[in-house]
């Protein structure tokens, strides 16, 4: 235990003081800050622009059918608030139009061809010009109002009918699927990234120790179980410190800017994970991390050269990627979340951290299923941990060509 | 203190690596474990340090099965290796702590050794910035800092320049004088001959020769003479086929029987101008070559 503590401390300090670790963490924090503050900053600039353009805008609607002038004026004035709307029955020719748009104080013109089609004319078409979208709707309203008044409905009443808004409220009896989906997605993705990154780090650390032959000395100084658990738990801690820093920053920045994000309640939902679910998340996250970290560590101790570590971990990585794809597909459809595939995957130790968490968050899971899945996973973590320590111990004997799995297991049995 | 290897056997799969290996190393003396590559030296060392267990046989310390505590052994492996990117003090302290020392004691011991080996200025340098010889001295500290009673040195002199080799010799002598068991494994016979009182030669996993080095040498028949003279030609003409050249101005003379020695010696001193004349005693190198090349 004392040795475990020393190894744990040494490895943790190693990881936390690595320049790349600090750099990546700071970079992620900076990205989070930029993203969460973006609407606030963007709003500052947006306000200025509106003040400048609001008064200056003047638009021309030409070719308006006889008798429809008042309707068109009313509708376009509503659609372009603050704009001066000029109405004409005739359509100006090209030269006149050029003159109006360049020096005539008109910022854009809509040349109608009946009630349902028009040509939009503007001097320079900007990338952010949404006037046609607004005009489409305005003209459609004008057409309907015209039709209603033509069939005897008074103009005011017609306007009321067309502009009556529909309101709605949402009552979700169980969880809000969209919010659940988002944080399930984000958490599974985070687990995926963290395991991938830290798995590789563990594998290459062990491989580096072996290729630098420091392992030769370590294996004669400490028991391999302390060594393996010390290493893996240290990287687990480093991973969680990084995640906590990133998600903590996200949470704080989001709270500071909550008002700016009101339009996107889904984002808010990301930070409103129910407590119970969060506990499951942590549990599955830690166990899943440990399971794969031990596997990566074991694989790292079978290679002699650091360069071989990347190819050696391929089978573990493939297993993990397949799990990720299956679970991601599983959570994308209502029917699939509790389907056979997801059920099976939620009990297999290599996939249960993702699959069972997804099912708890988004599907219907019985308590016994969770207990069974967690027990299987915990037992596997211990099993894989002990096995990886044994492989680590015999790994020091296996220099040269990488051993086949069968030879490796034989060596573990013999040692 | 007495360390005994008794009938140790070890196989990896079908391959029998050690067969009934037995030898004894005593405290206050150095013991040489010799053998060609693949003879089983490193496997023996690993069994001693419990990296893996023996299939059969036992390791005894003072007649009792050895209790391997983390401080028992100091090990300088043949394949040197520490953390190249870590600072010297940091990693030496870590290794000493792994050997059960408290942090403060570990730092004090490491500093003492750095001073002793003339490397105090390397304390805060990264290992990979040091020369090979200095890295080797750092590695030696990992074997000694925790003051183990049994020190295992695998090829300790390889890569050291003569000045550093002398420093290491002094250190080893001090440790021996403090009553420790020092186990050498090396191919450099001159060093073994210089330090070790007893040896065991392994060949194909078996001990083919073991015991006190002087006794081993004396056990060889004293039926050859070494001669140095500028009159080698004349000596050969007189003694014929019994002479074989042995370096420049040197001859090795085989006697028909050790009893002929006084007679032949007298004849040679009376008739020729000799620079050297003595009974040939095989060097450890000769003994090793003859033992290790025999089919196991």
Cβ atoms within 10 Å, residue A104 = 16
Which residues in chain B have Cβ-Cβ distances shorter than 8 Å to A2? 100
Disruptive mutation site among A10, A13, A19, A230 for chain B (greatest number of B CBs within 10 Å): A10
pLDDT over 80 (residue B118): yes
Residue A135: strand, helix, or coil: helix
pLDDT over 80 (residue A171): no
Global pTM value: 0.73
Question: Is A405 or A154 the better-scoring residue by pLDDT?
Answer: A154
- Chains A–B, number of C-beta pairs less than 8 Å apart: 57
Pick the range with the lowest mean pLDDT from A287-301, A396-410, B194-208.
Answer: A396-410
Asked if residues A283 and A255 have their Cβ atoms less than 8 Å apart, the reply is no
Question: Which chain A residue has its CA at the smallest distance from B143's CA?
Answer: A217
pLDDT at B241: 83
Measured between CB atoms, does B172 come within 8 Å of chain A? no
pLDDT over 80 (residue A396): no
pLDDT over 50 (residue A228): yes
Q: Which phi and psi (to 5°) does residue A171 adopt?
A: -125, 110
pLDDT over 90 (residue A366): no
- Give the per-residue SS3 of B256-294: CCHHHHHHHHHHHHHHCCEEEEEECCCCHHHHHHHHHHC
Pick the range with the lowest mean pLDDT from A106-120, A294-308, A398-412.
Answer: A398-412
Q: Is B155 left (phi over 0), alpha (psi -120 to 50) or beta?
A: left
Would you state the structure tokens that stand for residue A260, as one six-digit string? 């700016």
B81 with A393: Cβ contact below 8 A: no
Q: Answer yes or no: is the ipTM higher than 0.85.
A: no
Which residues in chain B have Cβ-Cβ distances shorter than 8 Å to A397? 12
Question: Is B85 or B88 the better-scoring residue by pLDDT?
Answer: B88
pLDDT at A54: 35
Q: How far apart (Å, rounded) are the C-alpha atoms in residues A233 and A4? A: 10
Question: What is the average per-residue pLDDT within B111-137?
Answer: 91
Q: How far apart (Å, rounded) are the C-alpha atoms in residues A257 and A251? A: 10
| Closest Cβ opposite residue B98 in set A222, A393, A396 | A222
Q: Which phi and psi (to 5°) does residue A111 adopt?
A: -95, 105
DSSP string, chain B: -EEEEEEEEEEETTEEEEEEEEEEEETTSEEEEEE-TTSSHHHHHHHHTTSS--SEEEEEETTEE----TTTEEEE-SS----TTSBHHHHHHHHHHHTT--HHHHHHHHHHHHHHTT-GGGTTSBGGGS-HHHHHHHHHHHHHTT--SEEEEESTTTT--HHHHHHHHHHHHHHHHTT-EEEEE-S-HHHHHHHEEEEEEEETTEEEEEEEHHHHHHHS---EEEEEETTHHHHHHHHGGGEEE-STTEEEEE-SSGGGHHHHHHHHHHHS-EEEEEE----HHHHHHHHHHS--
A57-163 CATH: 3.40.190
pLDDT band at B22 (very low <50, low <70, confident <90, very high): very high
pLDDT over 50 (residue A408): yes
Q: Radius of gyration (Cα) for chain B, nearest Å?
A: 23
Measured between CB atoms, does B13 come within 8 Å of chain A? yes
pLDDT band at A174 (very low <50, low <70, confident <90, very high): low
pLDDT at A50: 45
pLDDT over 50 (residue A53): no
| Closest Cβ opposite residue B73 in set A216, A220, A222 | A220
Residue % of chain B over a pLDDT of 90 = 37
Residues of CATH 3.40.190 domain(s) within chain A? Answer: 57-163
Instruction: Give me the half-sphere count of Cα atoms (radius 13 Å) on the Cβ side of residue A281.
Output: 19
B82 with A3: Cβ contact below 8 A: no
CA–chain centroid gap for B291, Å, is 16
pLDDT at A271: 73
Average pLDDT, chain B: 88
């Amino acid at each position: 235990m004392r040795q475990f503590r020393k190894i744990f401390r040494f490895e943790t300090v190693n990881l936390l003081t690595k320049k790349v670790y600090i750099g990546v963490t700071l970079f992620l924090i900076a990205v989070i800050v930029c993203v969460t503050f973006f609407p606030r900053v963007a709003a500052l600039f947006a306000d200025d622009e509106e003040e400048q353009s609001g008064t200056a805008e003047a638009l021309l609607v030409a070719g308006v059918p006889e008798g429809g002038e008042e309707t068109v004026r009313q509708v376009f004035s509503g659609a372009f608030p603050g704009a001066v709307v000029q109405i004409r029955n005739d359509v100006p020719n090209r030269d006149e139009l050029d003159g109006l748009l360049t020096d005539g104080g008109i910022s854009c013109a809509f040349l109608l061809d009946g009630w349902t089609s028009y040509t939009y004319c503007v001097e320079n078409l900007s990338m952010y010009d949404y006037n046609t979208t607004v005009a489409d709707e305005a003209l459609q309203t004008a057409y309907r109002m015209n039709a209603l008044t033509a069939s005897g409905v008074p103009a005011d009443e017609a306007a009321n009918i067309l502009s009556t808004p529909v309101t709605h409220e949402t009552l979700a009896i169980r969880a809000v699927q969209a919010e659940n989906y988002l944080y399930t997605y984000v958490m599974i993705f985070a687990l995926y990234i963290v395991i991938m990154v830290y798995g590789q780090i563990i594998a290459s650390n062990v491989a580096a120790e072996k290729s630098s032959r420091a392992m030769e000395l370590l294996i004669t100084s400490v028991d391999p179980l302390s060594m393996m658990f010390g290493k893996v738990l240290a990287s687990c801690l480093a991973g969680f410190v990084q995640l906590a820093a990133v998600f903590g920053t996200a949470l704080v920045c989001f709270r500071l800017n909550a008002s700016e994000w009101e339009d996107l309640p889904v984002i808010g939902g990301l930070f409103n994970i129910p407590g119970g679910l969060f506990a499951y998340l942590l549990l599955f996250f830690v166990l899943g991390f440990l399971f794969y970290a031990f596997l990566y560590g074991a694989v790292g101790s079978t290679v002699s050269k650091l360069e071989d570590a990347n190819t050696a971990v391929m089978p573990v990585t493939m297993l993990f990627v397949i799990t990720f794809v299956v679970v991601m597909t599983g959570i994308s459809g209502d029917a699939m979340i509790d389907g056979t595939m997801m059920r099976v995957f939620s009990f297999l130790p290599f996939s249960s951290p993702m699959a069972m968490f997804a099912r708890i968050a988004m599907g219907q899971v019985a308590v016994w299923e969770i207990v069974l899945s967690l027990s299987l996973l915990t037992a596997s973590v211990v099993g894989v941990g002990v096995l990886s320590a044994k492989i680590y111990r015999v790994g020091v004997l296996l220099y040269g060509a990488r051993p086949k799995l069968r030879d490796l297991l034989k060596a573990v049995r013999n040692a | 203190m007495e360390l005994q290897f008794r009938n140790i056997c070890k196989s990896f799969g079908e391959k029998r690596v050690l067969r009934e290996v037995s030898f004894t190393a005593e405290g206050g003396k150095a013991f040489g474990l010799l053998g060609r590559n693949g003879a089983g030296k490193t496997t023996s060392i690993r069994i001693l340090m419990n990296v893996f267990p023996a299939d059969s046989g036992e390791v005894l310390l003072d007649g009792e099965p050895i209790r391997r505590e983390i401080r028992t052994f100091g090990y300088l492996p043949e394949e040197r290796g520490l953390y190249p990117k870590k600072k010297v003090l940091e990693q030496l302290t870590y290794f000493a702590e792994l050997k059960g020392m408290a942090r403060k004691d570990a730092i004090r011991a490491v500093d003492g050794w750095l001073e002793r080996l003339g490397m105090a200025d390397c304390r805060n340098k990264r290992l990979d910035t040091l020369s090979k010889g200095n890295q080797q001295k750092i590695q030696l500290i990992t074997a000694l800092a925790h003051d183990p009673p049994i020190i295992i040195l695998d090829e300790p002199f390889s890569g050291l320049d003569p000045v550093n080799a002398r420093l290491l010799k002094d250190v080893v002598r001090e440790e021996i004088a403090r009553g420790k068991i020092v186990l050498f494994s090396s191919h450099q016979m001159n060093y073994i001959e210089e330090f070790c009182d007893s040896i065991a030669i392994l060949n194909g996993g078996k001990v083919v020769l073991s015991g006190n080095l002087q006794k081993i040498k004396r056990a060889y028949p004293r039926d050859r003479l070494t001669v140095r003279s500028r009159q080698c030609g004349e000596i050969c003409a007189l003694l014929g086929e019994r002479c074989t050249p042995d370096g420049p101005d040197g001859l090795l003379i085989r006697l028909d029987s050790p009893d002929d020695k006084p007679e032949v010696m007298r004849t040679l001193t009376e008739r020729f101008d000799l620079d050297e004349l003595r009974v040939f005693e095989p060097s450890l190198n000769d003994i090793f070559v003859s033992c290790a090349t025999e089919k196991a």
